[in-house]
Amino acid sequence: MTVKRVLVPIDKSEKTLKSIEQLKLLFRKEEVQVVLLHVIDDFNVAAVDYVSAEFMDAVTTLSNSLLDRAEGLLPGYTVEKISILGSASKEIFNTSSEKNIDLIIMTKTGSGLVDKYILGSVTSKIVKKADIPVMVIP
């Protein structure tokens, strides 16, 4: 199997940056294109009675800063950054399909409260349903 395009989902936890470190150990800069994805959880946004433009601007700014930070750890790599509102697992699947991803690298737990104690629910869904390889970083 030749890996040319790698998807790395990023959340606000420090742990997700381990995925980037693993990617750098596995692939040289000229070997792969990296897609960094941050999903703004639409469930959390929908839980707010009124979503102001200022709120969405702040959330988008945070998302972009997370992606910029992750990109900064990949000097010399070809990187595409995507920030999108939606369900994390759904958007990971959509992005992997739309961007012809060969491999997903993600951590086993994310930033959610439950995720800190068990295999993350998003990671679990991706591993169970993905039709491409998924590398899970502890």
Structure tokens at 97: 């399909």
Which tens digits make up the pLDDT trace of 115-134?
444 446 889 899 999 999 99
Domain residues for 118? 5-137
Specify the CATH number for the domain of residue 71.
Answer: 3.40.50.620
More confident residue, 66 or 56: 66
Average pLDDT on 12-33 reads 93
CA pair distance 97, 74, nearest whole angstrom: 23
pTM of the model: 0.87
How many domains does one find in the chain?
Answer: 1
